[in-house]
Amino acid sequence: MLLLIGALIILLTIYLLIKQYETRMVLFCSGLVMAIIAGDPMAAFKAFSHAMQESKIFEPIIAVMGFAMVLKVTECDKHLVHFLARYLKKAGPFLIPGAVLVTFLINISVVSASGCSAAVGAILIPSLMASGVHPAIAGSAVLAGTYGAMFNPGFAPNIVVADVAKSTPMAVVANHAIPLATVGIIGAITLTVVAYLRKENKGYEPDASTINAGQQDFQVNLLKAFVPILPLLILILGNMNFVAAFKQVAISHAMIIGVFAAFLVTRMNPGKVVKEFWHGVGEGFGHIFAIIICSLVFVSGLNAIGVIQAAINLMISNTDIAKLSATFGPFLLAIMCGSGDAAQVAFNKAVTVHAAQFGINGMDMGSMAAIGGALGRTMSPISGAAIICATFAGVNPLELAKRNAPGMIVALVTLMVLLMYK
């Protein structure tokens, strides 16, 4: 009986998320209700308290978000975008896939999908349209690159995977780097094929305002353009033992070094830089980490009512069910609710922690769920990134979702083969 009630609450939770009710509220309340029905209301509150003490997850996430806010206020992200856009204009037939991959690269530093869409979309979408690319394809190209953040070891999903797999974020990124790069290229190529088949790769004639918006006379400062990639470079050089001194640098420390670099390069008022860093820290806690906390409360409810154990027993008896669940569960939920965060956190904290019992590598399963959620969000018409890109392109977000769908589906299946069946 409890399992049936739990299943109904899960369906109601999914429905409320699809209806765009506040994610944190829905997850927390659903978890609490299940815990109460199971006769253990304190399970939800204990999960909340335990999650608040997860400093190894909390520290890198808020540092990354703080650095991202500093990049925005100092406009270092804009210099990087313009620097890459300058060479993109010379890409010729590789213009569309080039736009996807440029966004993909920038998203590694500007980890917020919405923030990246705003920073990159304002420049690349008008530029693509001015080059004759149809607005829907131009918007789709930027949207299709907004899961490059999975290359950033400080990105929240990577932190969660590292936690459940008992590993490090750098190890997680190294493990899924080749599959992620592969699906990124697949998404870019597939969108290009869609554009050619729909004859939307050229021939569009924008108005003068669009041309001006995409070809502003912007002077790129190479030092400012370098700042966004500095923390990642430090982490890579340290973890690959190229620079012994960087081996000791934690993710949060690398982000703080990046903040100092942004100040030194831009000479902005230090008080403003510090203020924006802590503003980003607050955003990271209030939005990203809060979703993780509420997801854990939801998981505690699932555990109390017996749903998790029932799912584990089913997956132990059939490994393929576990692999398919990790692949399609977060992906489908992300499409429906427009966010991959809640889906992947809940799945990884509830199921991936038991991956060894299914005979699956925990890191592979965790990355599958995390990247799958990101792919689903990239073809969701109600995601924040889709709405922003559609606004710049002047089209309905659904038009972007339709054009990205083939690439994201092919990418998902490819990723499943590379991670789940290797």
pLDDT of amino acid 20: 80
Average pLDDT, the chain: 89
Phi-psi region of 305 (alpha: psi -120 to 50; beta: other; left: phi over 0): alpha
Query: How far, in Å, CA of 23 to CA of 338, rounded?
Result: 11
Cα angle for residues 75, 80, 85 (degrees, 5° grid): 125
Exposure string of 291-319, with b = 16+ CB inside 10 Å and e = fewer, is bbbbbbbbbbbbbbbebbeebbeebeeee
Q: Is the pLDDT of residue 217 over 80?
A: no
Q: Is the pLDDT of residue 341 over 90?
A: no
Residue 285 DSSP code: I
- Of the pLDDT bands very low, low, confident and very high (cuts 50, 70, 90), residue 342 is confident
Q: Is the pLDDT of residue 60 over 60?
A: yes
Residue 1 DSSP code: -
Q: Is the pLDDT of residue 56 over 90?
A: no
Query: How many C-beta neighbours within 10 Å does residue 342 have?
Result: 24
Query: How far, in Å, CA of 421 to CA of 296, rounded?
Result: 28
Inter-helix orientation angle 23-37/341-350, to 10°: 30
Residue at token pair 């008080």 = 271
- Of the pLDDT bands very low, low, confident and very high (cuts 50, 70, 90), residue 34 is very high
Half-sphere exposure of 128 (CA within 13 A, CB side): 33
Helix (H) or strand (E) holding 253: helix 251-266
Query: How far, in Å, CA of 106 to CA of 125, rounded?
Result: 15
- Of the pLDDT bands very low, low, confident and very high (cuts 50, 70, 90), residue 338 is confident
CB 157 within 8 A of CB 374: yes
Query: How far, in Å, CA of 162 to CA of 366, rounded?
Result: 8
Q: Is the pLDDT of residue 421 over 90?
A: no
Query: How far, in Å, CA of 241 to CA of 57, rounded?
Result: 24
Helix (H) or strand (E) holding 165: none
Q: Is the pLDDT of residue 308 over 70?
A: yes
Residue at token pair 């991670």 = 419
CB 100 within 8 A of CB 187: yes
pLDDT of amino acid 261: 95
Half-sphere exposure of 113 (CA within 13 A, CB side): 30
Q: How large is the average pLDDT for residues 67-79? A: 90
Residues belonging to the chain = 422
